[in-house]
Amino acid sequence: MNSSDISKKVTAIITAAGKGTRMNSSINKQYLEIAGIPVLARTISVFESCSEVDNIILVVNEEDINFCKHEIVKKFNFTKVISLVSGGAERQNSVYKGLCSIRDEKAIVLIHDGARPFVSNKNIVDCIAAAKEFGACGVGVRSKDTIKISDNNGFVQSTPDRSSLWSIQTPQGFMYEVIKTAHDKAVQNDYIGTDDMVLVEKLGLPVKIVEGSYQNIKITTPEDLIMGESLLSSL
């Protein structure tokens, strides 16, 4: 790490503007509780306690901003949260609004799903290091399953080598100028990607995969809450 890296601030954008329709709940999935603590509060706490993270930006539904401010940020005394930004129609739109609120163009930016409360300090630190070294990266785990590529009728077309397949998670980390340019380009082309890494891939820039953890699950269904309770008891 050179001296210019040391001066770069790290800002985490945590997205929590999803509706969570697969959860079959009237409550946003980010505010559902695991062992008495909201999922989003658990997620923020890992970034709050990471010494290498300087600032946190929360992107939430506009109607949830006041609730989130009082019942999450103030209640759990999160001092690194510098702003709450209203989300957009799609996750990508929400991330872009978060990016546009950053004034430090030399920052390292981490983008993380608010519904991934079991991210570890190591995941975050490794992601920051890779973002500084390579400019763009994302946490992932190697696929445990054999993956098949099918045609439109559901017949197998090919079987890719499993050793080259990864399940991508978050955080995903970037130099600010890289990810802002990638999002600007996506807006211009009216393109919605499956994650933030693919936007950088479309610029033709290299993106590094950082070895993650199978515990870094995303809470999207009622079964995930049960799994989360189990994970918590084993930690």
Give the pLDDT of residue 24: 56
Q: Distance of alpha carbon 93 from its chain centroid, rounded?
A: 14
pLDDT digits (tens, 9 = 90+) for 36-49: 999 999 999 999 99
pLDDT, mean of residues 111-138: 97
pLDDT at 3 over 70: no
Report helix angle 91-100 to 176-189, nearest 10: 130
Place of tokens 């930016």: 109
Q: 59: closest CA among 136, 127, 112?
A: 112
* Residue 66 CB-density burial (10 A; 0-12 exposed, 13-18 middle, 19+ buried): exposed
* Residue 161 CB-density burial (10 A; 0-12 exposed, 13-18 middle, 19+ buried): exposed
* Residue 109 CB-density burial (10 A; 0-12 exposed, 13-18 middle, 19+ buried): buried
Beta pairing, strands 166-175 & 136-142: antiparallel
Distance (Å) of CA 143 to CA 147, 154, 167, 187 = 8, 21, 6, 31
What pLDDT band is residue 228 in, cutting at 50, 70 and 90? confident
- Distance separating the N- and C-terminal Cα atoms of the chain: 32
User: 80: how many CB neighbours lie within 10 A of its CB?
Assistant: 17
pTM value is 0.93
**What average pLDDT does the structure give for the chain?**
92
Domain 3-226, CATH homologous superfamily name and number = Spore Coat Polysaccharide Biosynthesis Protein SpsA; Chain A (3.90.550.10)
What pLDDT band is residue 227 in, cutting at 50, 70 and 90? confident
Q: Is 30 helix (H, G, I), strand (E, B) or coil?
A: helix
CA distance 40 to 45: 9
Q: Is 105 helix (H, G, I), strand (E, B) or coil?
A: coil
What pLDDT band is residue 29 in, cutting at 50, 70 and 90? confident
For the chain, which residues make up each domain, given as ranges?
A: 3-226
Of 106 and 232, the structure prediction assigns the larger pLDDT to: 106
pLDDT, mean of residues 156-162: 96
What phi and psi values does residue 220 have, to the nearest 5 degrees?
-130, -20
pLDDT, mean of residues 132-139: 98
CA distance 231 to 228: 5
